[in-house]
Amino acid sequence: MSDAPLLSARGVSKMFGQIRALNEIDLDIGPGVTGLLGPNGSGKSTLLKLFAGQLIPDTGEVRLMGQDPFRQPAALRHLGLCPEQDRFYEEISARRFVTVLTQLHGYDHAAAQRMADEAIARVGMSETARRPLGQMSRGMRQRIKIAQAIAHNPPVLLLDEPLTGADPVARADLIDLVRDLGREERAVVVSSHVLHEVEAMTHDVIFIRFGRLRAQGDVLRLRAMLADRPYRIRLEVDAPRQVAALLLEAPYLRAVTLLSEDTLEITTTDLEAAAAEIPLRLLEAGHALRRFTSPDADLESLYRYLMGHPQAQGGA
């Protein structure tokens, strides 16, 4: 496979009237799963539509496998798209729907039907594939949208809110599927407002706010770059006061707070050192460490820092 990114944007801006949806976006996306995150109106859906050839940038350029997806329609053979909104022919079966869309990529009916059946089986819908789409639940329809996106085996997948309407079991299955697709050397871009689900799929993320790229990369690496935002670590131990006295000498420690009779909260600027050394120190001193967690080392905390908002949101 070429070292060139599967998706790229260079100086991309997009206006809708007086509204600037995207402003000078530069990014590269390679194989693996990438989470696309940002508040409502941040430009996520606009970026996906540009990559899908549904929009053309006002300035700059987007590339799909090195081609312009708007001016070179052949590039779209490399793309699988699961849009957020449903646009089904309600009276036809799920199997027929996926088969026809696969034929549009240039496959004959027999090959398209075989590929459709394989994709439908992969999303767990084989038993209900002959049912009309109009009789399916929202979660079932969501699975079929994913099936049509992957049926022609594209190297690039754009999944806009792919878990919407799925029940908890289906969500777990689809998260596993997305991870598997990323392991197959595809570029899988997942736009979602449910942060813990994105975190279950990947640690590689893109943050967009007000149409601008805020950050891109591994969650832990990005979090480590926020030197002015120390980490909190909570320890559940047998003798918190003794443990506090033991840890106060550590060079990476800023503060220690007793939260309860068995829980300490420490503040550090070096999560990696703390995670490596604290369990060893307690083990050597004969203290039992029952729990080690950090409320500041996850995707949600990074989102709050970068977006300046207390809660995650989703949308365009």
* 129/24 same-domain check: yes
Q: What is the pLDDT of residue 311?
A: 43
| Boundary of a domain, candidates 222, 249, 278 | 222
* 171/188 same-domain check: yes
Question: Residue 84 maps to which CATH number?
Answer: 3.40.50.300
Kindly report the average pLDDT of the chain as a whole number. Answer: 88
* 11/83 same-domain check: yes
pLDDT band at residue 312 using 50, 70 and 90 as cut-offs: very low
Contact, 87 vs 31, CB < 8 A? no
- Domain with 291, as residue range(s), is 230-295
The verdict on residue 178 lying in a domain is yes
* 57/122 same-domain check: yes
Question: pLDDT tens-digit profile of 267-290?
Answer: 887 777 888 888 888 888 898 898
Question: pLDDT tens-digit profile of 96-152?
Answer: 999 999 999 999 999 999 999 999 999 999 999 999 999 999 889 999 999 999 999
* 218/84 same-domain check: yes
| DSSP assigned state of 228 | T
The verdict on residue 23 lying in a domain is yes
99: left (phi over 0), alpha (psi -120 to 50) or beta: alpha
Using CA atoms, how far apart are residues 29 and 65, in angstroms rounded to an integer?
10
DSSP-derived secondary structure for 206-226: EEEETTEEEEEEEHHHHHHT-
* 287/183 same-domain check: no
The verdict on residue 179 lying in a domain is yes
pTM for the structure as a whole: 0.79
Q: What is the count of structural domains for the chain?
A: 2
